[in-house]
Each structure stands twice: as C-alpha cells, then as structure tokens.
Structure 1
Amino acid sequence: MHQPLRAARAGSPAFRANGFTLIEVMIVVAIVGILATIAVPSYQSYLRRGQLQDAFSQMSAYQLRMEQSYQDNRHYRDPGDADECARAVPTTSYFTFSCATPTAQTYTLTATGKSGTLADGYVYTINQAGDRRTTKYAGSAPSPAATCWLYRSSTC
C-alpha cells in the first residue's frame, strides 16, 4: 500500500524556500547604488565633452568662413554694408553664439552654453588672430586665464 504524503516542514530536506532573503536584496541594492554614484557623473562628463565639441567645431567652421570673407572683401565688416559677422553666426542645440566686430579688421566670436544643458556655465571665444580662450569653465572663470578651449580640466 501506498503511504500518504506528508506535508513538508520547514527545516526538512523536502522544504525549499524560493526567492531571496532581505539581506541578499539589500546587498544588491547597495552594489547598484555604489555603481550608480560612480557611473552617473562619469557618463554626464562624457556627454558634456560631446556637447563642448559641438561648440568647438562650429567656432572653427565659423573662423574659416570669416577668413574666406576677409580674403574676398579685405575686411570683416564694411560700415556701409551688412555685417558679415552677424550673418555667419552658427546655431546649435547646446550653445548660443554672438559675434562682435569692433573694427573692420577684427572680430570676436563667443559661444555661451545654453541653460538647461550640460554645457551651461561654459563660455568660449575665438578672434581673427585665432586666439582661443575659455572665459568661463564649469561656471567660474579659470585662474589664470585659459588661452585654449578647456574641455576636460581647468588647465590647458
């Protein structure tokens, strides 16, 4: 005859718990938290560097257009004509650009990071001589003044 099946009791070999204990779950949460505190700032830095490169490429292309215009006209701005500096200003999702032509032989292009982007707090300039400057890096002016376009650290 067959014997009736007995109910498995806790602690007996027939009883197996399914799932995770609270300690195991807390360990996993702690590990994920630690990884997130390391990974998120690193990822944001990576994205920021990409946005800064957008400004650098636009400013370099702008400088090329201005030099081509200078070769054709022998000036950056003609007092009786439209300002070439204002016509050629680039537009991007991360930066606003402004151009100043104090004389017919000089110009300065300024790229300012847009609010709400990772580029907010960064300001870069370039002029007719090719002088690249960072006037604001991560929201503050670099000291000493940076004579390059900073993108990874506050020194050239």
Structure 2
Amino acid sequence: MALSTRISAMSSIRQRGFTIVEVMIAVAIVSILAAIALPSYNAYIQRSRVPAGLDALNAYAARMEQAYQDSGSYGAAGCTPTLPTAANFTITCASGGQTYTATATGSGPMSGYSYTINNQGVRATTAHPKGVPPGNCWSIRGSVCDDK
C-alpha cells in the first residue's frame, strides 16, 4: 500500500523547467535574429564613420576660400591651408592657382571610400564599396545621392 501511494504521489508531482528541445529552439531563434541584425549593425557603423571625412572636406573648402579671398589665388605650388585630419580618412589636395580639388580617401576600415570637393563647390563620390552614384553628390549609402 505504501509503495503504490508513493508511486502515485511521484507521478502527480509537476515537472518544472525547460526541456533541452525548448532551449535549442530558443538558441536557434536568437542565432537567426543575430545573423540578420549583425550585418545591418555593421553597415550602420560603417556609415557613421563617413561624416568625419565629409566634415573635414567642408572645413578645408572653407579654409581654401578664405585663402583665396586673402591672396586672390588658391596657390600654384600646392594647397595653402594646412590639410585637416579625419579619423579613417586621408585628406589630400591638388591646386592649380585658380582651382583646387580636395580629396578624402578612406583608410583602415573605410578603405574603398573616396570623396572630393573642388573650388566651385562640386561634390563627388569617386569610390564607394556599393557603387558610385550618378551625378555630383556625396553618397553615404552608395549608388544613391544622400545630400539632395
């Protein structure tokens, strides 16, 4: 009698917790969500680095215009104002006295990106991993103009 009472008492105890199958399903769902979200997050981080180079080009263009107002020339031997620095971008300049073109070329994690601005204020994306947009604009996302 005691044995049958004990067995019926044990069978009536409710099991608690998760089964291994339930845990594996939860891990699979989290893995799928991470596989979808991680590339989007990496693209977001990449796009967030672009404005540093574009800001440096805008600041440099303003300095070049100030130098032109002061001397009447952008400088025949090279670009007069000191080139700015930008994280993950190298800023270069080519000047021809009455014209100049400043270029921000990506380095490190931003390699493959290149942007220019000239003395007329024309902006161009000259290299982008997702393609160069048509027309004169700076593209952060690639193949479309973001600044219009």
What pairs with 1:86-105 in structure 2 (closer than 5 Å)?
A: 87-101=81-95, 103-105=96-98
Q: 1:8 to 1:63 in 2, by over 3 A?
A: farther
Inter-partner Cα distance in structure 2 for 1:10 and 1:146: 80
What pairs with 1:16-95 in structure 2 (closer than 5 Å)?
A: 16-17=15-16, 19-79=17-77, 83=78, 85=79, 87-95=81-89
Q: Secondary structure at the match of 1:151?
A: coil
Question: Given that residues 134 and 145 in structure 1 are in contact (C-alpha distance below 8 angstroms), is that contact kept between their aligned partners in structure 2?
Answer: no
**Which residues of structure 2 form unaligned runs of 5+?**
none
Q: 1:78 to 1:147 in 2, by over 3 A?
A: closer
Q: Secondary structure at the match of 1:138?
A: coil
Q: Secondary structure at the match of 1:110?
A: strand
Q: Secondary structure at the match of 2:115?
A: strand
- Please report how far the alpha carbon of residue 96 of structure 1 lies from its aligned counterpart in structure 2 after TM superposition: 0.9
Which structure has the highest helix share of the two? 2
Q: Percent identity?
A: 45
Question: Given that residues 52 and 151 in structure 1 are in contact (C-alpha distance below 8 angstroms), is that contact kept between their aligned partners in structure 2?
Answer: yes
Q: 1:89 to 1:10 in 2, by over 3 A?
A: farther
Q: 1:86 to 1:98 in 2, by over 3 A?
A: farther
Inter-partner Cα distance in structure 1 for 2:24 and 2:9: 24
Inter-partner Cα distance in structure 2 for 1:69 and 1:10: 92
TM-score by length of 1: 0.78
Q: Secondary structure at the match of 1:149?
A: coil
Inter-partner Cα distance in structure 2 for 1:38 and 1:68: 48
Q: CA RMSD in A?
A: 2.5
Name the counterpart of 1:110: 103
Question: Given that residues 122 and 139 in structure 1 are in contact (C-alpha distance below 8 angstroms), is that contact kept between their aligned partners in structure 2?
Answer: no
1:42-73 Cα distance to aligned partner (Å, 9 max, x none): 11122122111111111111110110111011
Inter-partner Cα distance in structure 2 for 1:146 and 1:20: 58
